[in-house]
Structure 1
Amino acid sequence: MGGRVWLFSLSVVFLWGSCLGRFVVEKNSLKVTSPDSLKNVYECAIGNFGVPQYGGTMVGVVAYPKANRKACKSFNEFDISYKSKPGGLPVFLLVDRGDCYFTTKAWNAQNAGAAAILVADDKLEPLITMDSPEEGGDDHVQNITIPSALISKAFGDNLKEALTNGEMVNVNLDWRESLPHPDERVEYEFWTNSNDECGPKCDNQIEFVKNFKGPAQILEQKGYTQFTPHYITWYCPEAFILSKQCKSQCINHGRYCAPDPEQDFSKGYDGKDVVVQNLRQVCVFKVANESGKPWLWWDYVSDFSIRCPMKENKYTKECAEEVIRSLGVDIRKVNDCVGDPEADKENPVLKAEQDAQIGKDSRGDVTILPTLVINNRQYRGKLDKAAVLKAICAGFKETTEPAVCLSEDVETNECLENNGGCWQDKAANITACKDTFRGRVCECPVVRGVQFVGDGYTRCEASGLGRCEINNGGCWKQTKNGITYTACVDGESNGCKCPPGFKGDGANTCEDVDECKEKSACQCPECKCRNTWGSYECGCSGDLLYMKEHDICISKKSSSRYSWSFLWVIFLGLAIAGVGGYILYKHRIRSYMDSEIRAIMAQYMPLDNQGETATHGPFANI
């Protein structure tokens, strides 16, 4: 009994610390589409059980029972069913708060065929989170699959009044903005505990880790997500640090505590064993993350729960280290990270965990175990593989979701029916319909590096270089007599234009132009025109020859005579020039030789015109 009282006192300390912080009620919207008097968008609080349709919407009609209005009993006792009829809208059952667990109400509504449950508050207060009961409170919690929402008393009263007056109330439950989805990567945290002796909640979170390990590791390895595990601890009041209870439940001199697994200090494992194992799991993640393999945390936690359970007295350091070694994680670094649990000083890892419990920005304080935080917003609902994967997928920006988010297990493909109402080219197997987690979008695609442009609904055209290689740019193209013509020009950014010799819109039709009928060719009087596909041919009758560059017909004979006469003139001119040149050459050579001979003779003999020379000297009179 003393142990239970001590646990209660520790809980009071922890809750007191939480009150200083902030608990955020996670919400979705509820839009009333009829009657007109209630048309509006209202807030409602997401229940912490069932499967909220994160990223999606549900349309239904509201029903308020005439009996069993608090839904604390099975509706089978009243022979009431809320299953929707073929072609009818799903039923959202409106019930009153009070007299039994929220989960009991949801379970009875689900068994009666309701698609969702709306619980009307019975007091005027801010919206609260409907939580599942503590251990043993309700055996059906894990089997609830319908979404639940708490609405305010005022709104609930208005719905009841409209239904009592015979009005049909249509509503749309919308979870599309319940989780932020800013970019192509989702960051999420899982606040958990290594204790496997805390009843159904512990069993459920261990089962979740085993089942979700595969998708979590795939998403992490491919860079779609960034995952971080966290663990809750609290401190022991300073006045009780030396007490037996504190020493058995805390490490580092009362700084980090966890409740006794069996809530009995005289047997089994103690709370401090849980704290140390929690710390070891955090350190395994940190060491694995430093080596570039953060996903090994999932292997370690699932393997530890199988190989080292408390029930078999294997919840020990030795067993944990065997698991760590089997995964190839550096055991020395893990032990250095864990440090000395007996030291009278802060442990930096556990101190960071305590600081992380405090809510920041849009995230409230973490006070419930287990808690999943997606894009800094706390997840509400059943801790189930499909439900959590659906919530994580709701955190991706539209069109960036990985393939696992669009699988049949998670989401239906709205492009399969009537192509989602988007543009498509069946011949080229090209479509503007893209299936996203929040529904389809009509967006012109990129095919083999070529961007299509248009509104995505009625038109998409290839644009830019290479566009003619993709379905000919959506333009007209035809081959005839071995000749191919196309209305697509690769250099143009987009659009289609019929080639010369054709007319039409270029996209669907290009018709041959008859240049002969349109008098656009062969205009000379003697010319004859023959139309061809995409062009024309001109000719002349008789012995006339067509000259295309002048668009005239000339006589072949005249042309021949004219040509030969012209050639004879050229030959005669060349002959005369040759003879003249030869005569000139001979004359110049002869003149040159005569001048040379005279020069030589002048050196050796007098010429006829040279006079005699007079004689003078002593022998003149002889």
Structure 2
Amino acid sequence: MMGAKLGLLLCVCVLLLGCCVGRFVVEKNSLKVTSPKSLKGTYECAIGNFGVPKYGGTLVGSVLYPKVNQKGCTNFSDVNFQSKPGGLPTFLLVDRGDCYFTLKAWNAQNGGAAAILVADDKAETLITMDTPEEGKANDDYVDKISIPSALISKSLGDSIKQALSDGEMVNINLDWRESLPHPDDRVEYELWTNSNDECGPKCDSLINFLKDFKGVAQQLEKRGFTQFTPRYITWFCPEAFLLSRQCKSQCINNGRYCAPDPEQDFSRGYDGKDVVVQNLRQACFYKVANESGKPWQWWDYVTDFSIRCPMKENKYTEECSDQVIKSLGVDLKKIKDCVGDPHADIENPVLKAEQDAQIGKGSRGDVTILPTLVINNRQYRGKLSRPAVLKAICSGFLETTEPSICLTSDLETNECLENNGGCWQDKSSNITACRDTFRGRVCECPIVQNVKFVGDGYTHCEASGSLSCQFNNGGCWKGVQGGRAYSACLDDYRKGCTCPPGFRGDGVQSCEDIDECKEKTACQCPGCKCKNTWGSYECKCKSGLFYSRENDTCFGEYSASVLNIWVIILVLVVAVAGGYAFYKYRIQRYMDSEIRAIMAQYMPLDNQPEVSNQVHHNI
């Protein structure tokens, strides 16, 4: 947040050493014109370094170019750009020049615009619209800008203006889905920051962000969803100026690592070298904490230090820092060894690595603005706030791999609040298929109390499973009358709605009672009297008879004749059973006698006399 001033100072210092080989990369998103046909196509636009870009999502709108105040430098007090129900959001097109980009965006937002497009006033490559330099403008409103902004080329701006003047409607789709790469299910991000807390509202804003984002950052880090690295910008003093008061006041290690004076006054307060040392301590704290497997402790240290050791209370000291480190249980000796001797004429490996990392590699570009957030090696542009940054980090995950925190109310786009996002909704039970995510709304049939709704999510959703009748009676007819309740829901959504017995109809809109008596479909036995009821009927027989609904007939009272019949039946049953038993007995006796006869041929039986085996001899 030091802005362009710091960026210029960095570049000048490095240029003096003849090694300014990096570059500042303009971060872009896609702009697709969908109408009119003459302008259809995809164009590039540059993301502004303020407001809230919809990273990971899209925004569709209709362009409006005001008749007056075409540069947007004053309030649009007489115009309301707020879209009407059912209409597309308004993208306000203004011209570059005469005032800061942020003021144009603030006025557009106050006028009700959903986004601002700034048309360049010269044919050149796109640039990054940045916030004003500190002290150059009343920037109290900058942090309040919440709409996305984009700088478009002069040629595209002229073409849009011409189409609008011809009475054409210009519709545009701003697309940020590829503004940040999302290669896998882990996001790697860096925050280039500073321990200086005496730069006014900008420093206060950074500290407030650190405090507000700490919980989210630690949660993502502990669960392995992200890998975070804090970074610190420094520069070195040209050799010709090593003995100057400026370099001695702002640099350590013999001019190798420098930072600006906090108050921009070398005669009072803390010096730039004090900031460099504290930056180094914070970097070393992260290094030691990371080696111990708890890198998320860095957030505790920087937030606690800002509270306990502020510059304005003259507590921005090594002693105060040591107390904070001890309270967090981190090895103080290892941190001191990492910091080393700031007065030594040697390189510090930690700060040397930070200087090397400042130079852009690949698609990232140089880091020249404080603070700068780098997500998946791409510089973030926009407001430094918890919802905005979390939304950007979430867009860095491969789709469907993002953690649940990305689907919380913090990242709602409010698209479900207007016309239910165009999705299916059951107003009677307040069930909707519209689900708001950081990538925009999706129309997806919900799961309510373990009951899954099925359908396309846009025109219909139906409860499925055995509990489907619990919700709006499964969309079927239901009626209650005289203490009786009937339903056409069958607890199986695949079978649809069917009127219960005693009713006829479509089962959805209505089921009408069938008059069984009138239609003569029941109670047709001779002498029967039929009475229709809701959903059923009653049938009464003549005196002394009773009605059987299953057979639709009357039976007489139990009498002697009936009793005699039962007695006869019982006697017959007993006779048959007795005969069968006698038959079995006779058969058994017969079999026994036969067996005895057979066995008697081979051996004497107990009831036969023995035959003597003696032989008589005559002598």
Q: TM-score, normalised by structure 1?
A: 0.71
Q: In 2, Cα distance between the equivalents of 1:108 and 1:418?
A: 27
* One-letter amino acid matched to 2:433: A
Q: In 1, Cα distance between the equivalents of 2:11 and 2:370?
A: 16
Comparing 227-236 with 11-20, which one deviates more in the overlay?
11-20
> 59, 79, 83: which one pairs with 2:79?
83
Measured at CA, do residues 152 and 581 of structure 1 come closer, stay the same or move farther in structure 2, by a change above 3 Å? closer
Measured at CA, do residues 437 and 81 of structure 1 come closer, stay the same or move farther in structure 2, by a change above 3 Å? same
Counterpart position of 2:21: 20
Q: Quote the offset at 1:304 in angstroms.
A: 2.7
Q: In 2, Cα distance between the equivalents of 1:595 and 1:115?
A: 121
Counterpart position of 1:63: 65
| 2:413 is the alignment partner of 1:406 | no
Q: Quote the offset at 1:152 in angstroms.
A: 1.2
Q: In 2, Cα distance between the equivalents of 1:578 and 1:9?
A: 123
* One-letter amino acid matched to 1:63: Y
Counterpart position of 1:177: 177
Counterpart position of 2:134: 135
> What pairs with 1:25-424 in structure 2 (closer than 5 Å)?
25-32=26-33, 36-52=37-53, 54=55, 55=57, 57=59, 59-64=61-66, 75=74, 81=77, 83-84=79-80, 90=90, 92-97=92-97, 101-103=100-102, 117-140=116-139, 142-143=141-142, 145=145, 147-162=148-163, 165=165, 167=167, 170-172=170-172, 174=174, 176-177=176-177, 179-180=179-180, 182=182, 187-197=188-198, 199-200=199-200, 203-218=201-216, 220-221=218-219, 223=223, 227-236=228-237, 248-252=249-253, 254-261=255-262, 268-289=269-290, 294-342=295-343, 346-360=347-361, 362-384=363-385, 387-388=388-389, 391-392=392-393, 397=399, 402=405, 406-407=409-410, 411=412, 413-416=414-417, 418-424=419-425
- Aligned residues of 2:30 and 2:42 also touching (Cα < 8 A): yes
Q: Quote the offset at 1:189 in angstroms.
A: 2.7
Counterpart position of 1:538: 551
- Aligned residues of 2:53 and 2:176 also touching (Cα < 8 A): no
* One-letter amino acid matched to 1:83: V
* One-letter amino acid matched to 2:409: L
Measured at CA, do residues 169 and 41 of structure 1 come closer, stay the same or move farther in structure 2, by a change above 3 Å? farther
Q: Quote the offset at 1:155 in angstroms.
A: 1.8
Q: Quote the offset at 1:226 in angstroms.
A: 5.0
Measured at CA, do residues 314 and 46 of structure 1 come closer, stay the same or move farther in structure 2, by a change above 3 Å? same
Measured at CA, do residues 391 and 27 of structure 1 come closer, stay the same or move farther in structure 2, by a change above 3 Å? same
Q: Quote the offset at 1:13 in angstroms.
A: 1.0
Q: In 2, Cα distance between the equivalents of 1:614 and 1:132?
A: 155
- Aligned residues of 2:424 and 2:458 also touching (Cα < 8 A): yes
Comparing 28-37 with 300-309, which one deviates more in the overlay?
28-37
Q: In 1, Cα distance between the equivalents of 2:422 and 2:106?
A: 38
- Aligned residues of 1:103 and 1:141 also touching (Cα < 8 A): no
Q: Quote the offset at 1:318 in angstroms.
A: 1.2
Measured at CA, do residues 354 and 469 of structure 1 come closer, stay the same or move farther in structure 2, by a change above 3 Å? farther
3-state DSSP of counterpart to 2:95:
strand
- Aligned residues of 2:123 and 2:155 also touching (Cα < 8 A): yes
- Aligned residues of 1:325 and 1:331 also touching (Cα < 8 A): yes
Q: In 1, Cα distance between the equivalents of 2:322 and 2:484?
A: 77
Could you list the runs of 5+ residues in structure 2 that have no partner in the other structure? 523-531, 538-547
Q: Quote the offset at 1:386 in angstroms.
A: 5.9
Q: Quote the offset at 1:281 in angstroms.
A: 1.3
Q: In 2, Cα distance between the equivalents of 1:122 and 1:35?
A: 23
Counterpart position of 1:549: none
Comparing 558-567 with 249-258, which one deviates more in the overlay?
558-567
Q: Quote the offset at 1:51 in angstroms.
A: 4.6
- Aligned residues of 2:284 and 2:335 also touching (Cα < 8 A): yes
- Aligned residues of 1:176 and 1:438 also touching (Cα < 8 A): no
3-state DSSP of counterpart to 2:285:
helix
3-state DSSP of counterpart to 1:57:
strand
Q: In 2, Cα distance between the equivalents of 1:87 and 1:263?
A: 46
3-state DSSP of counterpart to 2:459:
coil
Q: Quote the offset at 1:230 in angstroms.
A: 1.4
Counterpart position of 2:529: none
> What pairs with 1:592-607 in structure 2 (closer than 5 Å)?
596=606, 599-600=609-610, 602-603=611-612
Q: In 1, Cα distance between the equivalents of 2:386 and 2:604?
A: 124
3-state DSSP of counterpart to 2:445:
coil
Q: In 2, Cα distance between the equivalents of 1:587 and 1:374?
A: 107
Q: In 2, Cα distance between the equivalents of 1:138 and 1:96?
A: 17
Counterpart position of 1:575: 582
Percentage of matched positions with identical amino acids = 56
Q: In 2, Cα distance between the equivalents of 1:433 and 1:360?
A: 41
Q: In 2, Cα distance between the equivalents of 1:476 and 1:369?
A: 64
Q: In 2, Cα distance between the equivalents of 1:599 and 1:186?
A: 114
Measured at CA, do residues 90 and 536 of structure 1 come closer, stay the same or move farther in structure 2, by a change above 3 Å? same
* One-letter amino acid matched to 2:94: L
- Aligned residues of 1:434 and 1:441 also touching (Cα < 8 A): yes
Counterpart position of 1:446: 447
* One-letter amino acid matched to 2:208: K
Q: Quote the offset at 1:129 in angstroms.
A: 0.9
3-state DSSP of counterpart to 1:537:
coil
Counterpart position of 1:526: none
Measured at CA, do residues 472 and 382 of structure 1 come closer, stay the same or move farther in structure 2, by a change above 3 Å? closer
- Aligned residues of 1:431 and 1:444 also touching (Cα < 8 A): yes
Measured at CA, do residues 387 and 415 of structure 1 come closer, stay the same or move farther in structure 2, by a change above 3 Å? closer
Q: Quote the offset at 1:317 in angstroms.
A: 1.1
Q: In 1, Cα distance between the equivalents of 2:521 and 2:260?
A: 99
Q: In 1, Cα distance between the equivalents of 2:617 and 2:306?
A: 155
* One-letter amino acid matched to 1:131: D
Could you list the runs of 5+ residues in structure 1 that have no partner in the other structure? 522-530, 545-554, 617-622
Measured at CA, do residues 170 and 556 of structure 1 come closer, stay the same or move farther in structure 2, by a change above 3 Å? farther
The C-alpha deviation readout for 1:544-595, integer Å capped at 9, x for no partner, is 9xxxxxxxxxx99889767744653552353355357558768988997985
* One-letter amino acid matched to 1:140: D
- Aligned residues of 1:107 and 1:140 also touching (Cα < 8 A): no
Counterpart position of 1:552: none
- Aligned residues of 1:60 and 1:172 also touching (Cα < 8 A): yes
Q: Quote the offset at 1:22 in angstroms.
A: 3.8
Measured at CA, do residues 561 and 205 of structure 1 come closer, stay the same or move farther in structure 2, by a change above 3 Å? same
Q: In 1, Cα distance between the equivalents of 2:111 and 2:451?
A: 53
Q: Quote the offset at 1:278 in angstroms.
A: 0.7
Q: In 2, Cα distance between the equivalents of 1:428 and 1:476?
A: 15
Comparing 469-478 with 387-396, which one deviates more in the overlay?
469-478
